[in-house]
Amino acid sequence: DATPNLSTSTKTVSDLDGGNVLPGDILRYTITTMNTGNGQATGVAITDTIDTDTQNLTNVTQSNCGSSTNSSTSTQLTITGATVQVGTNCVITFDVSVKSPLSVGTAISNSATIAAASEGGTGATPSSTTLYTAAPPSTPNLVVEHTEDDADNTVFLNQTV
């Protein structure tokens, strides 16, 4: 019997704002469901509850996932009925925003669950790299001082003091 194998599926994350992860940044997650078995995978469910220090799951896109259904909420990705052909990757991306305020060094971790196909085989629970929030750029503390040394305490236009 032909059996799908989704166990080598992966998950990655990137900070769309670049640089250090800061409160308010947008993170993009990519789940790549790979079928390395010898039979197509149908009825695949892909779920992902976002980290509690993130919010607003948006911009869900799917590629090569068949006629799947997206019933995601603002806190959980839910794709059902995906079809993954042998040697083809079903790629799902979504964005979340980092909550504000957060303490420096807050860990943001995330894992997805890819259920086994209707035909059986192996599912997966890929995780992305854990990100840590950084300190925001420091704001310089500038002080402007002005003293006047004018004997008559009167300043005229174009007078240098």
Percent of the chain with pLDDT over 70: 85
Q: For 76-114, what is each residue's pLDDT tens digit?
A: 999 999 999 999 999 999 999 999 999 999 999 999 999
Look up residue 146 and give its DSSP letter. -
- Say if CB 92 and CB 122 are below 8 A apart: no
Output the CA–CA distances (angstroms, integers) from residue 84 to 29, 46, 57, 91, 118, in the order listed: 19, 12, 24, 10, 11
Q: For 9-65, what is each residue's pLDDT tens digit?
A: 999 999 999 999 999 999 999 999 999 999 999 999 999 999 999 999 999 999 999
- Say if CB 37 and CB 8 are below 8 A apart: no
pLDDT score of 83: 97
Q: How confident is the model at residue 126 (pLDDT cuts 50, 70, 90)?
A: very high
Of the candidates 30, 25, 23, 26, the residue with the CA atom closest to the CA atom of residue 46: 30
Amino acid, res. 19: G
Of the candidates 37, 32, 34, the residue with the CA atom closest to the CA atom of residue 4: 37
pLDDT score of 37: 95
Percent of the chain with pLDDT over 90: 82
